[in-house]
Structure 1
Amino acid sequence: MSELTPMLEQYRRIKAQYPDALVLFRMGDFYETFFEDAHIASKVLGIVLTSRNHGKSSSVPLAGIPHHALDQYLPKLVRAGYKVAVCEQVEDPKKAKGLVRREVVEVVTPGTALSERLLEDKRANFLVSIAPGKDGYGLCLVEASTGTFKVTELSRDELWEELEGIMPSEVLLPEGARDLAEEAKNRLPGVFLAKMEDWRFGHERAGERLCEHFGVTSLKGFGCDDLRDGIRAAGAALEYLSENQRGRLGHITSLSRYDRSAYMVLDRTAARNLELLSSFQGGREGSLLALLDRTRTPMGGRKLREWISRPLKQVAPIKERLDAVEALLDEPRWREVVQALEGVYDMERIIARAACGRANARDLVALRRSLEALPLLAEALKDVETDLLKRCREAIGGLEPLADTIRRALVDDPPLSLTDGGLIREGYHPELDELRAISRDGKSWIAELQAREQRRTGIPSLKVGYNKVFGYYIEVTKPNLDKVPSDYIRKQTLVNAERFITPELKEYEAKVLSAEERIGELEYELFVQLREEVARWASQVQRAADAVATVDVLASLAQVAREEGYVRPEVADDDLLEIRDGRHPVVERALGKGQFVPNDLRVDTRDEQIWIITGPNMAGKCLAGDTLVFTDRGLVPIADLMPDGATVGEFAEINCRVRGLNGGSEATHFYRGGWEATVKIATRMGYSLEGTPEHKVWVRNPDGSEGWKRLGDITEGDVVAIERRIDLWGRETTIDHSAAESLKYVKKRYRLPDELDEDLAYMMGLLVGDGTLTYRNYVYLCTRDSFIAQEFRRIADRLFGYKVGCKANGTDYFITSKQI
């Protein structure tokens, strides 16, 4: 027989199904963790680790969090790199016969997260699945929070270029791909690696899984049936998501083929050198993204980031975007578009949560308000003639019925909880309205019943009352018992009166006593039905959300163009690149308007192919190259307008090695004679240091504190750390064991180790870090850590045959080196 309680046995069975996950086990108002999971949760979340006796076994470690704080604590566990399985009570404890049934309802990992607390509004959160093949790799790109589902096939070099550009949150691999997993750890620092059995990446299984999900017999309609390895990766990704989301994947409505040839490939090094998404200092400020981002919606922010990191290569789609930006330069139209966008929430992620059964009432109200803003956006675009904006206008129509459904069902400001009532609007459901009336108007109904029964029976003293023991009753004094109607049923006899009930009163009593409980249950049932109805619109809402995002980005680029005075470039099908009065957008923003000096440039494949730019250090030579980058390689493919004028042709990426990633300084100046002024200081010991005033060195201050200090701020009395390259260890030597024999004070012969092993290295580390050598030949180790003390004693005994002593204070452990 098991020594654990039935509840803990239930936990062990569930944990066995998810051995690689930290299980949050719902118990009443708390999520509990047990055994090793409890130690992890306590450390990561900073919560108390305690223990409890469960059966005959020794106490079991546990740590718990309140159920209402799940959204607060869950992100901390996932960001710390843990896979988390959320186990809920799936039946009402009041109705359960015996042990409450529990099931894992969701498994959360960095790449499958749906919670807003785990996601950045304007940044995609990708899971990638990789299927190694004979001639290359299948790659599936999934964003669980929006339903994006793309597939392609790549060579090895292309694979890593793609992954370093995407920087996914999670990578899914076959268990047998050990070399690939190791390379992913090295090239994608911090990424979460997930693994599945190799057979789950089988082509036939994957194809069947995808066809079953999309309700088709072939993948030809998606244009990817020839991507054998891509299908393997996509099928495995779908299966992985299905297991984590318990099969709720209604937001994944389509599979698209991802064509890398349409985009310019910018690896992580190129993107960093160009400061496209972040500056050299690591923040968003000072990047091209920060300059161009005037988006009003989270979807628009993510779309702009995608456009910048994946510039177009073909002329036709570039011209199409430029047409749309130019159309939105008209300020009245742009203002109408922006006003409509201000009312739009994150439709993509809301509909995804709804399809996965994770959306709450506030999510659906936000979706309703977003849908109500779409007709205003369509109206603002009604006169545009550009193809791209026309397609966007068409995509955002037809969702009024869904907005009306949500409007009729939910109140404007619903509570966060889904089970405490207050979600559903009055008039939406007859039974709910009746229950609310009972709950709200109970006293008036009782008064009305009492007056009616007094008139019917002719007993003025008749009363209708209630107590917790007998419930509702009608009380009649004994002198009036002869007037009691035949439908009264005797319930209780008192000294001076009798108490009765009637079928009507009994029915009402049942309604009143259960009304509040039933209200909560019924509202939740109605909400779940509504959420399922909303989920059926996933495909249309996703299409509209993508169109809104596109319009948002175009409006953002139009705003920047108008504010900065940019004009449209001429995009031609030739090899000429001509820039007139070119301005580096980011540098110009940093310097301020009017401070940047525009420059011209003309390069073609016939007459003017090579430019050699010379000049003193820090004279701005790099700006000519950057101007090229931000036109022919950057802003034009993004489809923004240009500084003054430009003529450009077809686009293709050119990769080159760039040395030095230190980046620019925010306070860069020209230096007299081409040199930056330096500071030179001399130390009391005869050393000298020279560097710029901004150069930082490690200093001990006169008060004893230590830290980094600018060279220009060092004063007399500071102590500077200097690498002197002194040989602290000396040359290798052999210990002469016989030397100990000649010591007259030696009473016992101790062993001396012949070589340095892990134990001896550990002991030396302890003594160097926390040891003290006294003039009496004692070596002390001071520690309160029982484990360290135990190891110190064990190693001394094993290597030297020496029993370590301990002083009376219980913290100072010593060896008499004279004896050794």
Structure 2
Amino acid sequence: MQQYTPMIQQYLRIKAQYEDAFLFFRLGDFYELFFEDAIKAAKELEITLTKREGGADEPIPMCGVPHHSAEVYISQLIEKGYKVAICEQMENPQQAKGVVKREVVQVITPGTVMSQTMMDEKQNNFIAAITSFGKTKYGIAISDLSTGENYITLVNDGFEELIHTLSGMNVKEVIVAPNFSNNAQQELKKIFHVAISYEEHTSIREEFQNITQKLHTEHELITFGRLLNYLLRTQKRTLAHLQPVEILKQTDYMKIDLYSKRNLELVDTIRKQGRKGSLVWLLDKTVTAMGGRLLTKWIERPLIDRVQIEKRHEMVQCLTEQFMLREQLKGLLKGVYDIERLAGKISYGNVNAKDLVQLKKTLEILPDFVQLCYEFQHPSFSQFAERMPTTSQLLDKLSRALLDDPATSITEGGIIRDGYNAQLDEYREISVNGREWIKNLEQREKEKTGIKSLKIGFNRVFGYYIEVTKANLHLLEAERYERKQTLANAERFITPELKEMEMKILHAEDLLADLEYELFLQLREEVQEHIPHLQTIAKLLSEIDVLQSFATVSVEHHYVKPMFNEVGDISIRNGRHPVVEQVLTDTQFVENDIVLNDEKQMLLITGPNMSGKSTYMRQLALIAIMSQIGCFVPASEASLPIFDQVFTRIGAADDLVSGQSTFMVEMLETQYAVTNATKDSLILLDEIGRGTSTYDGMALAHAIIEYIHDEIGAKTLFSTHYHELTVLEEQLPRLHNVHVKAVEENGQVVFLHKVHEGAADESYGIHVAQLANLPEKLISRAKSILQQLEEENTIDKSNFVVNEQLSFFKDEQEEEKKSRTIEKTIVREIASLNLVNMTPLEAINVLYKLHEKVTRDGDKR
């Protein structure tokens, strides 16, 4: 340290406290970075890397950005997952004795950004704290610093359940204890691409007891305490806008695991990782940013409380039936600003006058909104009106205080309205009308002295003065005039009145700006007292916004109000996939019925690729989710049970990052479904077993079907290309065959996309290859080979033996298998397994190892 200059030593001391962040070190009008920070920042921000002398033998690497544009550069670093510590000058450099005092005033991290430019207005920016309690129990606390929202939930079923719980929360940063498992940290980074931060302290200060009243267990308090201490340590503010912590109970919402959220494309599409083409994209007719964020939360956490769901349905129905009132409501909502995030900015101290004008305009709308709610003549809308806080005093204060179009800066004036403060009005009068006052004074002095040549002037050295020629000096009252400057032919004087006005005029601009800033800070403090009311208003407006969005979509796309039944039946008439039907441009979506009940618990779906099996399955899941978030559904009629969970295994892709094959990914997702599903769940499994050999795949598919049918009893759609499995309809009483119809016309396959009773009679695989424009020579050869195989190796379904799940075929297939040494080994290994006491996951892992052994030894069938 001694080799460096005092300023660099100061930098190094501060940097040592923030080793995991870029230190933006304020030097005058720039934020400077030194040493490794400078080298890395210059590369990431594509700015010039320079050097400066710092007292050592070698110059120090340095780069910098102007403080007025620093937010742009900071946002680039945050988007890349870095953290930035803002170090400001805490005293005037001209008054400092020695090195200027500097302190870090804020640490900006991916989970704590407050700038509007760094956030998506319709997405929450959550930060999460995770605390482990033993091997299987975890606490999760999440917060959106920009809105003040806080949630907490406890997970009791291990790390995998923790992952599924975190999925969909749009978490940008995760806080853990320093001794948290390194392997777990790496998994979190890999799956969610989050920044990892550390916090040891978990005690909660007394001033925050009001927001933790719902927390009772030690695990809840420790988990939220870790989050709160991290926020206080990095943000260095009071955080008065933090809302009371809400406990998210897993039993209060439909559980949708990580795989299903991805497969169903609820918030993002699989291919483009964007909103367009997702369910939230389709349903988002919200007018406000607050409503957009709430919609995403509703989709991520559908309700399972029938009373709450049906209350939403009733309000949506009311909105669909009253077009004029709905349009008036949308018109009012268009004038609503994001007061939820404004409340955060007010508490944070970075709100400006334009923000408060936006708040004022929103508050002006509230009386009309309340009146409109009563006009719907519905109890739920009336309750909204009754719950709306009264803000007339705050509105009056803002209206009197702020200009309609104030300046953006809060330190340079131009924000406070005339008449709000007498002292301010006087300064403004002096500033605006100072020259006129000087002219009037000059005229009065001429009249009083009788000197027509008397004039009042100004220069930067002497300020204002009264100039009188030497011939007229005898006309002045000596006691009133103080000599200021002597010229060859004249004398310059100042009077007490002019001296006082000179001081006012010369300092009026500075005094005006300072006073306006002081008055604005006072106003901000007064508004801060209303933050709880503003947050209540935000919640009410956002909820109404989401409901009108549901109504708008339902009317535009001809959705119907779903009914619920207690017996667990599914009866959907003319159901449609809500997203697919909207993205089709040249064809009309084909509607299909879905009927499941106690006698028909499972549908085994067969049919060629591209025929619509996956779409048929997904539309059931989306209809179920839409119904339980309170939206109408794409059908002509729908009666559904309330599902506790939805599990999907649709589509397949290698997980190259973790090195897992398509087959292993498929098995893991299936394992999670069959392990966690209940009879009240919905299971959708698409072509299970296709990632391994034909016999293994059929065996596995058969076993899974039986297990779900006999052990779980959940409503299930199971699609397959193994037509041999259709014989299971005769063996499993609650399984029913259906197929997606396709016909052959002039040698070409035509997909009808219509689901019919019974099994498919042909796969049309080669026809699909033709549609993909494979070479005609290749297609002809495939047809020839297919004909030869069908003649030589016809499979007879009558030889399908249900009780021998791993040996489906007799005669020549059985002899062929026995002839292979490797297969004999596999059979012996299987025979030695204790299947009765084996968990589904253990069984899947054993099967995967057997599959690896077969493929490694050269049997690729």
The normalised TM-score by structure 2 is 0.73
Q: In structure 2, how many angstroms separate the alpha carbons of the residues matched to 1:146 and 1:681?
A: 58
Report what 2:313 is aligned to.
322
Report what 1:472 is aligned to.
464
Corresponding position: 1:556 with 2:552: no
Match runs of 1:782-801 below 5 Å: none
8 Å contact from structure 1 (residues 110, 192) kept in 2: yes
Shift of 1:357: 0.6
Report what 2:481 is aligned to.
488
8 Å contact from structure 1 (residues 214, 254) kept in 2: no
Gap change, CA 1:593 and 1:542, over 3 Å in 2: farther
8 Å contact from structure 1 (residues 174, 196) kept in 2: yes
Tell me the secondary structure at the aligned position of residue 412 of structure 1: coil
Report what 2:580 is aligned to.
587
Amino acid at match of 1:12: L
Report what 1:380 is aligned to.
372
Larger displacement relative to structure 2 (561-570 or 253-262): 253-262
8 Å contact from structure 2 (residues 155, 161) kept in 1: yes
Gap change, CA 1:530 and 1:10, over 3 Å in 2: farther
Shift of 1:93: 4.4
Report what 2:834 is aligned to.
none
Report what 1:11 is aligned to.
11
Match runs of 1:537-616 below 5 Å: 537-591=530-584, 595-605=588-598, 607-616=599-608
CA-to-aligned-CA distance 1:687-719 (integer Å, 9 cap, x gap): 99999xxxxxxxxxxxxxxxxxxxxxxxxxxxx
Shift of 1:592: 5.1
Gap change, CA 1:612 and 1:58, over 3 Å in 2: closer
Q: In structure 1, how many angstroms separate the alpha carbons of the residues matched to 2:774 and 2:647?
A: 40
Report what 1:746 is aligned to.
none
Which of 225, 231, 246 is matched with 2:216 structurally?
Answer: 225
8 Å contact from structure 1 (residues 151, 231) kept in 2: no
Q: In structure 1, how many angstroms separate the alpha carbons of the residues matched to 2:504 and 2:56?
A: 46
Larger displacement relative to structure 2 (524-533 or 97-106): 97-106
Report what 2:849 is aligned to.
none
Which of 169, 175, 197 is matched with 2:178 structurally?
Answer: 175
**More helix per residue:** 2
Amino acid at match of 2:227: A
Q: In structure 1, how many angstroms separate the alpha carbons of the residues matched to 2:649 and 2:192?
A: 22
Q: In structure 2, how many angstroms separate the alpha carbons of the residues matched to 1:445 and 1:96?
A: 40
Corresponding position: 1:629 with 2:621: yes
Which of 287, 292, 310 is matched with 2:278 structurally?
Answer: 287
CA-to-aligned-CA distance 1:443-471 (integer Å, 9 cap, x gap): 21111111112222233232222211111
Amino acid at match of 1:604: N
Shift of 1:656: 5.2
Which of 506, 509, 513 is matched with 1:516 structurally?
Answer: 509
8 Å contact from structure 2 (residues 189, 196) kept in 1: no
Match runs of 1:193-342 below 5 Å: 193-197=196-200, 200-201=201-202, 205-206=203-204, 209=205, 211-214=206-209, 219=212, 222-226=213-217, 228-282=218-272, 283-329=274-320, 330-342=322-334
Report what 2:167 is aligned to.
164
Q: In structure 2, how many angstroms separate the alpha carbons of the residues matched to 1:659 and 1:342?
A: 40
Tell me the secondary structure at the aligned position of residue 613 of structure 1: strand
Tell me the secondary structure at the aligned position of residue 612 of structure 1: strand
Shift of 1:619: 2.5
Report what 2:453 is aligned to.
461
Which of 344, 352, 359 is matched with 1:352 structurally?
Answer: 344
Corresponding position: 1:128 with 2:128: yes
Shift of 1:91: 3.7
Larger displacement relative to structure 2 (618-627 or 15-24): 618-627
Q: In structure 2, how many angstroms separate the alpha carbons of the residues matched to 1:514 and 1:10?
A: 37
Report what 1:77 is aligned to.
77
Shift of 1:473: 1.6
CA-to-aligned-CA distance 1:745-787 (integer Å, 9 cap, x gap): xxxxxxxxxxxxxxxxxxxxxxxxxxxxxxxxxxxxxxxxxxx
Q: In structure 1, how many angstroms separate the alpha carbons of the residues matched to 2:326 and 2:285?
A: 12
Gap change, CA 1:40 and 1:122, over 3 Å in 2: same
Q: In structure 2, how many angstroms separate the alpha carbons of the residues matched to 1:530 and 1:407?
A: 11
Shift of 1:100: 3.9
Amino acid at match of 2:216: D
8 Å contact from structure 1 (residues 679, 690) kept in 2: no
8 Å contact from structure 2 (residues 260, 646) kept in 1: no
Amino acid at match of 1:622: S
Which of 168, 190, 195 is matched with 2:193 structurally?
Answer: 190
CA-to-aligned-CA distance 1:712-751 (integer Å, 9 cap, x gap): xxxxxxxxxxxxxxxxxxxxxxxxxxxxxxxxxxxxxxxx
Q: In structure 1, how many angstroms separate the alpha carbons of the residues matched to 2:781 and 2:237?
A: 65
CA-to-aligned-CA distance 1:378-418 (integer Å, 9 cap, x gap): 22211335454334333434123223322222222223222
Q: In structure 1, how many angstroms separate the alpha carbons of the residues matched to 2:605 and 2:105?
A: 63
CA-to-aligned-CA distance 1:122-172 (integer Å, 9 cap, x gap): 111110111111361121111111000112211224322111232410000
Shift of 1:181: 4.4
Report what 2:632 is aligned to.
641
Gap change, CA 1:15 and 1:623, over 3 Å in 2: closer
Q: In structure 1, how many angstroms separate the alpha carbons of the residues matched to 2:109 and 2:543?
A: 29
How many residue pairs match? The answer is: 670
8 Å contact from structure 1 (residues 488, 501) kept in 2: yes
8 Å contact from structure 1 (residues 245, 356) kept in 2: no
8 Å contact from structure 1 (residues 127, 143) kept in 2: yes
Corresponding position: 1:146 with 2:137: no
Shift of 1:657: 4.2
Q: In structure 2, how many angstroms separate the alpha carbons of the residues matched to 1:119 and 1:689?
A: 55
Amino acid at match of 2:368: L
Gap change, CA 1:74 and 1:9, over 3 Å in 2: same
Tell me the secondary structure at the aligned position of residue 17 of structure 1: coil
Structure 2 gap ranges (5+): 655-661, 663-685, 687-741, 750-763, 783-861
8 Å contact from structure 1 (residues 680, 689) kept in 2: no
The normalised TM-score by structure 1 is 0.77
8 Å contact from structure 1 (residues 314, 651) kept in 2: no
Structure 1 segments, 4+ long, off by >6 Å, are 687-691
Tell me the secondary structure at the aligned position of residue 188 of structure 1: helix
Shift of 1:480: 2.7
Amino acid at match of 1:523: E
Shift of 1:440: 1.9
Corresponding position: 1:505 with 2:498: yes
Gap change, CA 1:433 and 1:359, over 3 Å in 2: same
Task: Quote the sequence identity (%).
Answer: 40
8 Å contact from structure 2 (residues 389, 536) kept in 1: no
CA-to-aligned-CA distance 1:584-632 (integer Å, 9 cap, x gap): 2112212359822222222222x3323333333332233432332122x
Gap change, CA 1:257 and 1:386, over 3 Å in 2: farther
Q: In structure 1, how many angstroms separate the alpha carbons of the residues matched to 2:242 and 2:485?
A: 63
8 Å contact from structure 2 (residues 151, 246) kept in 1: yes
Shift of 1:293: 0.8
Gap change, CA 1:619 and 1:533, over 3 Å in 2: same
Tell me the secondary structure at the aligned position of residue 19 of structure 2: coil
CA-to-aligned-CA distance 1:267-288 (integer Å, 9 cap, x gap): 2210111121122322222211
The Cα RMSD (Å) is 2.8
CA-to-aligned-CA distance 1:3-26 (integer Å, 9 cap, x gap): 544433333333233222211122
Larger displacement relative to structure 2 (414-423 or 176-185): 176-185
Corresponding position: 1:525 with 2:528: no
Shift of 1:92: 4.2
Which of 424, 435, 456 is matched with 1:432 structurally?
Answer: 424
Gap change, CA 1:19 and 1:341, over 3 Å in 2: same
CA-to-aligned-CA distance 1:226-285 (integer Å, 9 cap, x gap): 2x1121111111111112221230110312222221111112210111121122322222
Q: In structure 2, how many angstroms separate the alpha carbons of the residues matched to 1:293 and 1:656?
A: 24
Shift of 1:335: 0.4
Shift of 1:189: 3.9
Tell me the secondary structure at the aligned position of residue 378 of structure 1: helix
Amino acid at match of 1:434: E
